[in-house]
Structure 1
Amino acid sequence: MDHAPLRHHGDVDATPGLLDFAVNVQGTGPPRWLRDRIAAVLDDLGRYPSAAHDRAAREAVAARHGRRPDEVLVLAGSAEGFALLPGLRPRLAAVLHPGFTEPEAALRDAGVPVARVLTDAADGHRLRPSAVPAEADLVVVGNPTNPTGVLHPADDVRALAAPGRVVLVDEAFADAVPGEPESLAGEPGPLVFRSLTKTWALAGLRAGYALGSPELLARLAHGRPPWPVSTPALEAVIACCEPAAVAQAQEAASALAVRRAEQAAALAAVDGVTVLPGRAPYLLLRLPDGHGERVRARLRDAGIAVRRGDTFPGLGPDHVRVAVRPAEAVARLTAALGEALSHPPSNCSKATLPQPGGVKVALLQSGGGA
């Protein structure tokens, strides 16, 4: 099996100059007040990030989620957290798919055996805890899941707990759902990753954090280099966890939910487009069989980037993911989709990437086949 698709992310699809529906960052940059907070620490760049600044960031996160500071680990983005997962030394990791592929990529690169637990579109891509192998001592699930947008009930995620097992919940988009329902960030037990990238448009800064027991976080952090999180990122974590910022994020999430519903309705009105249900700030679309690659190419020719779906295990080339965008951008996307689908393909090819099929769980050894 070719492992390269696991390293494909939306920024590869969204080259400069294209109308970007491929990346799930909201806006082109942080709000002015957050820019000012980050800029205020630039004079400190001549000094190494301090333990006091890290402690202040952990205290801010702890206050935001009702945790203790020793239950917080500040990260250089959630991606750093995924890269640290092999340090937990799992014997078998189970990863829910379709889902964000970076955790599996990091685990497989380190030689960790991985079981893919595939959700079913006919079942609404719902998490079924019983489908996870009993022997898995690390389970990774996104909530809401990327790219399906499914928000799993917290009780289903809690049901994954088992003696000797670490349950990692990737809540990168949790703050983009009004009220943050089903979040486990305030509960002991699971390991929870949070990102500031999406809501606050900080993809270039790399800032996030992990929540978990002090013992588990110590295992996760073992072997990190000194000063892993920059001074501007630490300040961003503090700023984004303050009550006024949390309130602003929730207002943005409510507005985003309205735009999402409007965008879903507009896309569903395009003949041939199926919009899968979800709660996240993006939508998973299914195009007519055999049309996906051609439609993506036509959209690109029209200056529009969407996220291809065939690099997500369990999806194929006729799936695309689109971020929630303002109405004028959505109008341009729907018009281009309608134009692309109104012309029959002259020579439409099927998927070029290997896809799992026929089974719900496949054991994958790093460097081996399914």
Structure 2
Amino acid sequence: MDGFDLWHHGDQEVGEGLVDLAVNVRANTPPSWLLEQIAASLTDLAAYPRQDAALTAVAQRHQVAPDRVLLTAGAAEAFVLIARAFRPRHAVVVHPQFTEPEAALRSAGHLVDRVVLRPEDGFGLDPRQIPSDADLVVIGNPTNPTSVLHPADTLRELARPDRILVVDEAFMDAVPGEPESLVGAAIPGLVVVRSLTKTWGLAGLRVGYVVAAPGVIEQLAAVQPHWPVSTPALAAAIACSNEQAVTEAAQAAVDIERQRAHLLDNLTAVRTYGVPRGPFVLVQVEGGAVLREALRGKGYAVRRGDTFPGLGPDWLRIAVRPEDVTDGFVKVWRDTAVDL
């Protein structure tokens, strides 16, 4: 629609021999202890998956009751379930953001309006921008690809008794302390979507979850297939919810904050808008599309921005990586930018 490829994702930018700065999965993951937990579950593959232990673990992680949690095959399935379970008269998606929610809504036959945030406003949201009659609103926090973290109080203002408010918090655990998270908040119609993909390097396993009121969880579960989450994915959900994992994720968020600052301090000839808080940065650079292809030719993949509504070919999303990877990338970036 409108020339934006809503189905394009960062993994399509990656190719053999390329250093990956296009996909927002934390480097050097999954850790060995997590792989061991997943591998140990393989002896149970003859039995149908049982979710009880994983539901309890995730619920304890967020200090909510288990009936407020729905496990899903990644955050992507959560968006499909939302599109199936509800019949909004006026769905609104706040852009630029992850395009999967809008794609899922459109595939289910819903009409979707867009509220497009402006770079000159730092990609910040004024709640008055959301139409008052919108009965389903989707927003990311922190938002992919802008990396902007919206204040929780701003998002609370979007809640209405007759509105489903979907907040995609797939990257929230990459923010130290998760200060603006709404997971578990007593807000009417709130649906928080989480993913284990990004922090733990589990894109190939497909595991995520939804936290919402029990009645909303029941509506989503009613349109979900039986046994949607595999036994290895359930093992991962348990392992990533324990105290050790929460502590490791918290340290990783601190590391990402330092690594992001290092990246931004060393990039040249770029413009940024807002305050990036996620494990990626969005930059605007003249001739961005040409630069992206030139970087590919020199061994580095970054994410094109022109598939996100509200952005164009001069926008690039760059994943945060450890300093040694960033230093190699920045050198190539500078050399390439000079040549163009």
Q: TM-score, normalised by structure 2?
A: 0.96
Q: Which residue pairs with 1:84 in the alignment?
A: 81
Superposed CA offset, 1:128-171 (max 9, x none): 11111111111001000000000000000000001210101100
Superposed CA offset, 1:174-232 (max 9, x none): 00110011000121221101100010111100111100011111111222211110001
Residues of 2 paired with 1:20 and 1:187: CA distance? 36
Q: TM-score, normalised by structure 1?
A: 0.89
Q: Which residue pairs with 2:160 in the alignment?
A: 162
| 2:136–2:164 Cα contact (<8 Å) kept | yes
Change (3 A) 1:2 1:255: same
Superposed CA offset, 1:273-312 (max 9, x none): 2233311010101102xx1111011001001100000000
Pairing 1:323–2:319 present: yes
| 1:264–1:275 Cα contact (<8 Å) kept | no
| 1:193–1:210 Cα contact (<8 Å) kept | yes
Tell me the CA shift for residue 336 of structure 1.
1.9
RMSD between aligned alpha carbons? 1.2
Q: Tell me, what secondary structure is at the counterpart of 2:17? A: coil
One-letter amino acid matched to 2:319 = A
Tell me the CA shift for residue 2 of structure 1.
5.0
Q: Which residue pairs with 2:240 in the alignment?
A: 240
Q: Which residue pairs with 2:110 in the alignment?
A: 112
Residues of 2 paired with 1:257 and 1:314: CA distance? 26
Superposed CA offset, 1:55-101 (max 9, x none): 11111111111100000001111000011122211111111100000
In the alignment of these two chains, the number of paired residues is: 336
| 2:306–2:315 Cα contact (<8 Å) kept | yes
Give the alignment partner of residue 301 of structure 1, picking from 297, 300, 318: 297
One-letter amino acid matched to 1:75 = T
Residues of 1 paired with 2:281 and 2:242: CA distance? 29
Q: Which residue pairs with 1:132 in the alignment?
A: 130
One-letter amino acid matched to 1:72 = V
Q: Tell me, what secondary structure is at the counterpart of 1:194? A: strand
Tell me the CA shift for residue 28 of structure 1.
4.4
Superposed CA offset, 1:311-355 (max 9, x none): 0000110000000012222122212222222134xxxxxxxxxxx
Residues of 1 paired with 2:325 and 2:79: CA distance? 33
Q: Which residue pairs with 1:180 in the alignment?
A: 178
Tell me the CA shift for residue 255 of structure 1.
1.1
Percent of residue pairs identical: 52
Residues of 2 paired with 1:46 and 1:55: CA distance? 18
Gaps of 5+ in 2: none
Residues of 1 paired with 2:112 and 2:56: CA distance? 35
One-letter amino acid matched to 2:295 = L
Residues of 1 paired with 2:108 and 2:28: CA distance? 34
Gaps of 5+ in 1: 345-370
Q: Which residue pairs with 1:348 in the alignment?
A: none
One-letter amino acid matched to 2:82 = L
Pairing 1:121–2:119 present: yes
One-letter amino acid matched to 2:201 = A
